[in-house]
């Protein structure tokens, strides 16, 4: 088999479902397929998914893809996954999930995290000596919102003690998928950071830190072994190879969670080269040659898929999730009183509607904080809102305001990112499902005042990243070669005529947070108490 015939089966498991792509060893897409996965939002701050549903979706999408592509299944030499991160699956010794997975939106561990993180002298909720050690060793600290593996494990320990007692390992999402492929309990250098119990000062040598593990109060033996993203974990389990119709010697490469994988799949692998991901959530990320933390804006450069580098990740809690909410709860909500059919290509229709409104949405401002925010403020109380509506506003204004609100929030993040890096990020690559929208790409260019490079097939960035990680792990390419393998589809330049308008809207956007954050906290603390 020549290198041109060799293929990699790459998985991109997002919150909304699994995408499975078939790629050459150089990252060229040969085809892809997808399968949805349900999300369960609970009234007490819970956000869960069924881990077995992840696996079923991957198998269904993979078989459908392999049936429809021309490449023979025998040409698939490796499997590699990218998944959403900061989720937790407690499993028994056989790898069976003991409860539904707590995903990155779950806040139920917040109270227990705050008890461990706090002390006599606090800075923004953290005891001074504790946070200094966390930052020195890990680069960050447990999220006080509880939206990480640290908080999830504490919630299970204190609120579900029987589940905790039966837990053999706490696996992140990627760890669970790799277990299903290989039977190995491992975690990657990028996935393990959400536990906040590792020494990350040398990115090529990440190790557990006994003192931090003791502080976490989680038993040491419940943490899986650490591997690199490019490490080959071994062949597929025989029953999995047979289920997928692949050769039993098909290798599994460890992969990475979504942000580091998208960084590779975007082609932005050089130091200070940035990308924006627009999916259910959003982020700005850039590789850096140094470890650094800015606790005030909840940002840090942390271990990633490239073994000797760090990656700055500044996350936005909900981006495209705002469009899904708009579709399912406002525009096309199906109930007994008002039922209307969702267009077959809803997002294309949404772009058409948004294009009918002028820049600035005739004064309508949207704040996209449906489930709190992470960066540049770690605030679990704030919520979304449509502001400044009047009788003259139309549906087009509201739809465009939602797109602009996500971009304004990204601009709120970009300032601290550029300060962190010590230089402007320009141009910026754009990937994720939202990057398919020419309207949204141009809005980002105008709002950020940065050139936006729309990557070809942007929805496949995570899967492409996983494929390229596997290719590097198997020795077929190098990370330095990745930029020439990733093509740019379009470039969008900021329109100078819109500069003053978006500067004004951005100032008011930030002011909305400052003026209303205490109101949000009072309202949502009351709701949290009532739910409890």
Domains of the chain: 316-456+491-531 (3.30.420.40)
Dmax of the chain from CA atoms? 66
- In contact, 187 and 226? CB cutoff 8 Å: yes
- In contact, 282 and 315? CB cutoff 8 Å: yes
Q: Where is 502: in which H helix or E strand?
A: helix 499-531
Residue 99 main-chain phi, psi, to 5 deg? -160, 170
Residue 417 main-chain phi, psi, to 5 deg? -60, -45
Closest among 125, 153, 7 to 66, alpha carbons compared = 7
CA distance 392 to 439: 23
Residue 485 structure tokens: 């393998």
What's the Cα-to-Cα distance from 155 to each of 90, 110, 209, 509, rounded to whole Å? Answer: 12, 8, 22, 34
pLDDT at 440: 97
Q: Where is 482: in which H helix or E strand?
A: helix 482-485
Residue 399 structure tokens: 């739809």
The pTM assigned to this predicted structure is 0.89
Paired with 170 in beta bridges are: 90
The single residue listed with the structure tokens 């105008």 is 446
CA distance 209 to 202: 13
- In contact, 172 and 86? CB cutoff 8 Å: yes
- In contact, 434 and 440? CB cutoff 8 Å: yes
Find the radius of gyration of the CA atoms of the chain: 22
- In contact, 290 and 310? CB cutoff 8 Å: yes
CA distance 184 to 169: 11
The alpha helices in 125-265, defined as continuous H runs, are: 128-138, 149-159, 161-166, 173-182, 210-216, 238-244, 258-265
Coil, strand or helix at 388: coil
CA distance 40 to 91: 19
Q: Where is 81: in which H helix or E strand?
A: strand 76-83
The single residue listed with the structure tokens 């009351």 is 526
pLDDT at 341: 64
What letters, b where the CB count within 10 A reaches 16 and e where it falls short, cover 375-397? bbbbbbbbbbebeeeeeebeebb
- In contact, 377 and 367? CB cutoff 8 Å: no
Task: Tell me 370's DSSP state.
Answer: B
CA distance 172 to 257: 9
Task: Tell me 121's DSSP state.
Answer: S
Residue 116 main-chain phi, psi, to 5 deg? -75, -40
Other beta carbons within 10 Å of 160: 16
CA distance 427 to 303: 24
pLDDT at 527: 64
> Taking the chain (532 residues) in consecutive chunks of 10 residues, what is each chunk's mean pLDDT?
84 95 96 96 94 98 94 95 97 97 95 95 90 94 93 98 98 98 98 97 95 98 98 98 97 96 96 94 94 83 95 90 87 58 77 94 96 82 95 95 97 96 96 95 98 96 97 97 95 98 98 95 73 48
Closest among 310, 82, 113 to 175, alpha carbons compared = 82
Coil, strand or helix at 156: helix
Residue 350 structure tokens: 């949404």
pLDDT at 333: 63
The alpha helices in 183-319, defined as continuous H runs, are: 210-216, 238-244, 258-265
pLDDT at 338: 47
- In contact, 268 and 274? CB cutoff 8 Å: yes
Q: Where is 513: in which H helix or E strand?
A: helix 499-531
Task: Tell me 407's DSSP state.
Answer: H
Tell me the DSSP string of 48-102: EE-HHHHHHHHHHHHHHHHHHSSS-GGGEEEEEEEE--S-BEEE-TT--BSSPEE
* Dihedral sign of CA atoms 321, 37, 249, 185 in order: positive
């Amino acid at each position: 088999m020549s290198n041109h015939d060799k293929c990699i089966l790459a998985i991109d498991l997002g919150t909304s479902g699994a995408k499975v792509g078939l790629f050459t060893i150089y990252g060229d897409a040969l085809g892809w397929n997808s399968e949805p996965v349900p999300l369960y939002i609970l009234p007490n701050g819970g956000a869960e998914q069924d881990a077995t549903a992840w696996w079923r979706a991957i198998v269904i999408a993979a078989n459908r893809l392999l049936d429809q592509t021309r490449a023979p299944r025998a040409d698939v030499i490796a499997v590699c996954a990218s998944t959403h991160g900061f989720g937790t699956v407690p499993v028994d010794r056989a790898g069976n999930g003991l409860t539904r997975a707590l995903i990155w939106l779950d806040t139920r561990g917040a109270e227990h995290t705050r008890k461990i993180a706090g002390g006599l002298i606090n800075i923004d909720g953290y005891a001074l000596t504790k946070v200094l050690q966390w930052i020195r060793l890990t680069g960050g600290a447990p999220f006080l919102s509880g939206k990480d593996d640290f908080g999830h494990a504490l919630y299970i320990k204190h609120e579900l003690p029987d589940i905790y007692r039966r837990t053999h390992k706490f696996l992140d999402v990627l760890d669970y998928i790799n277990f299903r492929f290989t039977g190995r309990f491992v975690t990657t250098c990028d996935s393990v950071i959400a536990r906040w119990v590792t020494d990350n000062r040398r990115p090529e040598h990440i190790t557990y830190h006994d003192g931090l593990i003791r502080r976490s109060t989680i038993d040491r033996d419940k943490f899986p072994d650490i591997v690199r993203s490019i490490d080959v974990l071994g062949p597929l389990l025989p029953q999995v190879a047979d289920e997928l119709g692949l050769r039993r010697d098909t290798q599994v490469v460890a992969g990475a969670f979504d942000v580091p994988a998208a960084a590779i799949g975007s082609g932005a692998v050089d130091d200070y080269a940035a990308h924006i991901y627009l999916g259910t959530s959003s982020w700005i990320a850039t590789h850096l040659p140094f470890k650094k933390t800015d606790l005030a804006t909840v940002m840090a450069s942390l271990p990633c898929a490239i073994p000797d580098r760090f990656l700055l990740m500044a996350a936005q809690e909900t981006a495209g999730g705002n469009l899904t909410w708009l579709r399912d709860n406002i525009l096309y909500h199906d109930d007994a009183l008002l039922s209307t059919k969702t267009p077959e290509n809803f997002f294309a229709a949404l772009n058409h509607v948004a294009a009918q409104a002028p820049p600035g949405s005739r004064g309508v401002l949207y704040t996209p904080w449906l489930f709190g925010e992470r960066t540049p403020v770690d605030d679990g109380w704030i919520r979304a809102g449509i502001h400044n509506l009047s009788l003259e506003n139309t549906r087009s204004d509201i739809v465009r305001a939602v797109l602009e609100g996500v971009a304004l929030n990204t601009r709120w993040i970009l300032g601290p990112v550029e300060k962190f890096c010590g230089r402007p990020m320009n141009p910026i690559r754009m990937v994720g499902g939202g990057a398919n929208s020419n309207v949204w790409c141009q809005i980002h260019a105008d709002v950020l005042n940065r050139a936006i490079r729309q990557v070809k097939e942007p929805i496949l960035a995570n899967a492409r990243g996983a494929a390229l990680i596997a290719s590097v792990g198997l020795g077929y390419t190098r990370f330095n070669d990745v930029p020439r393998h990733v093509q740019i589809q379009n470039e969008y330049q900021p329109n100078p005529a819109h500069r003053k308008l978006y500067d004004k809207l951005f100032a008011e956007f930030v002011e909305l947070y400052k003026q209303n954050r205490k109101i949000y906290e009072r309202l949502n603390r009351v709701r949290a108490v009532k739910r409890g």
